Amino acid sequence: MSLDVYLEETIPTNVYSANVTHNLRKMADAAGLYDIVWRPDEHGITTASQLIEPLRAGIERLKADPEHYQQFNPNNGWGSYNHFIVWLEQYLTACEEHPNAFVTVSR
């Protein structure tokens, strides 16, 4: 199972999409990122601009204590701390480049 995220402009045009395994949800939750990444619709997040600061803060938390967050690496090898950092940074960059894009996810 995995999570797909999308950023869309006003005219339904996909400007970014990415996929990340649900195996990283415990790490995301520990870093305070689960709700905004997996369930933005349930927390009033509709545009990419609303994700910028929370993503930055979560990435900072992850990078500040790698040993703590690496304990959440999935045992099955699908997903990792390092992969998640890269994925989050790419998502953040996309949000910064397309702040008015609408955020949708498919769980």
In the β-sheet with 102-106, what is the strand arrangement from edge to edge?
14-21, 2-8, 102-106
Q: In the prediction, which pLDDT does 25 show?
A: 97
Q: Write out pLDDT tens, residues 4-20.
A: 998 877 667 889 999 99
Supply the DSSP symbol for 10: S
Q: Is 45 helix (H, G, I), strand (E, B) or coil?
A: coil
- pTM listed for this prediction: 0.89
In the prediction, which pLDDT does 8 show?
78
Is the per-residue pLDDT at 2 higher than 90? Answer: no
Hey, what are 91's tokens? Answer: 């998502």
Q: How many CB atoms lie within 10 A of CB 40?
A: 20
